[in-house]
Amino acid sequence: MSFRSALDKAFDITQGLLVKAINSQAPTPLVEPMLHAVAGGKGLRGFLVQKSAELYGVGHDRSARAAAAVEAIHAYSLVHDDLPCMDDDDQRRGQPTVHVKWGEAVAVLTGDSLQSLAFELLSDEAVGNTDTRLELIESLSVSAGARGMVRGQALDIAAETAERPLTLEEITELQMAKTGALFEWSCTAGAILAGEGPEPMRKFARPLGLAFQIADDIIDAEGDTELAGKRLRKDAAAGKATFVSLLGLEGARARTKELVDEAEAALAPFGAKAENLRQAARFAVERRM
Ligand code: GRG
């Protein structure tokens, strides 16, 4: 199966569960904006959960809820990030953002509801035994929260009013939290589902998350707005330090290549079984959206 077909198949599984779980929240005025928030996107984090689980012999009957959980957290982060008090964007995934369609208060509540839904999904008995569910819930709380993704966002906001631009070391730390923490969780969830230690997959996830973020900076600098489905050239307009401003376009591209090589090398112990994940690493940096 081609990588694109595997990504689409995993997307359909994750999306099917998310839509069902959101509809089961009814009656609430938040069903429609929640469905809008999770629609579209590449589904890369959900794919990583499902494929890392397969690597450990866990099928999507158990991994799909974990895939849906991380996509729910990701969708919440995008809804909140798009708010006027954060990045102030009116387009996401080629559609109007939630606050543009329903107003800021509904957008805040939509993000809140998606965040709670993630943990409801992980609490389901279909995910595994109590220990497994607890470990997934705890690790996702840490990855998404004030020590993980939210920390990265807070550092990013603080950087806007800092007296000097961030250094390469500081931007790496920020992005490893803001974008990297959810990638790390997605890649290690399969090991946790199988009752195994997460360390081997962390070695894959860390360079992958960073490479994905550098690719995002490259797309922001030279990508096509229509393909990306969101406003671009924001970083340069805001005078923000990014991997591109610090390394230059060619330097940033060279760094993504090094990181993809590192990510692929981490998969060596898994042999041919990990081919989908190798392709995901290449896709993360070659993508145009
Ligand atoms: C507001 C709590 C809070 C956190 C926001 C991740 C984040 C933190 C904000 C997103 C801002 C952003 C565009 C970061 C660049 C990297 C990134 C996460 C891009 C979007 O991820 P994709 O490309 O999106 O996987 P799709 O739409 O494909 O799901």
CA of 5 to the centre of ligand 1 (A): 23
Euclidean distance between CA atoms 175 and 155, whole angstroms: 9
pLDDT of residue 228: 87
pLDDT of residue 237: 78
**What pTM, to 2 d.p., does this model score?**
0.96
Position 61 pLDDT exceeds 90:
yes
Residue whose Cα lies nearest atom 29 of ligand 1: it is: 41
Q: Can you spell out the DSSP letters for 119-164?
A: HHHHHSGGG--HHHHHHHHHHHHHHHSTTTHHHHHHHHHHHHT-SS
With tokens 């840490």, the residue in question is 142
pLDDT of residue 198: 96
- Residue of 42, 79, 81 best suited for mutating to test ligand 1, as the one with most atoms within 8 Å of CB: 81
Determine which helix (DSSP H) or strand (DSSP E) holds 199, and give its type and residue range.
Answer: helix 199-222
Mean pLDDT of the chain: 96
Euclidean distance between CA atoms 166 and 169, whole angstroms: 8
Residue 245: pLDDT band with limits 50, 70, 90: very high
Instruction: Quick: pLDDT tens for 22-33.
Output: 999 999 999 999
Q: Which residues of 228-258 are buried (b: 16+ CB within 10 A; e: fewer)?
A: bbbbbeebeeeebbbbbbbbeeeebbebbee
Position 236 pLDDT exceeds 80:
no
Q: Give the residue-averaged pLDDT of 83-110.
A: 97
Question: Which residues sit with their C-beta closer than 6 Å to ligand 1?
Answer: 41-42, 44, 74, 77-78, 80-81, 86, 93, 149-150, 153, 178-179, 213, 216
Euclidean distance between CA atoms 225 and 161, whole angstroms: 27
pLDDT of residue 287: 86
Token pair listed for 85: 């008090």
Answer yes or no: are the C-beta atoms of 68 and 121 closer than 8 Å: yes
Query: For the chain, what is the radius of gyration of the CA atoms?
Result: 18
Residue 177: pLDDT band with limits 50, 70, 90: very high
Position 114 pLDDT exceeds 90:
yes
Helices 243-266 and 168-178: crossing angle in degrees, nearest 10, is 60
Determine which helix (DSSP H) or strand (DSSP E) holds 91, and give its type and residue range.
Answer: strand 91-92
Nearest ligand 1 atom, CA 182: 6
CA of 23 to the centre of ligand 1 (A): 24
Position 288 pLDDT exceeds 90:
no
- Residue of 176, 179, 210, 283 best suited for mutating to test ligand 1, as the one with most atoms within 8 Å of CB: 179
CA of 124 to the centre of ligand 1 (A): 26
Instruction: Give which of 205, 175, 195, 176 is closest to 49, Cα–Cα.
Output: 205
Residue 186: pLDDT band with limits 50, 70, 90: very high
pLDDT of residue 187: 98
pLDDT of residue 227: 87
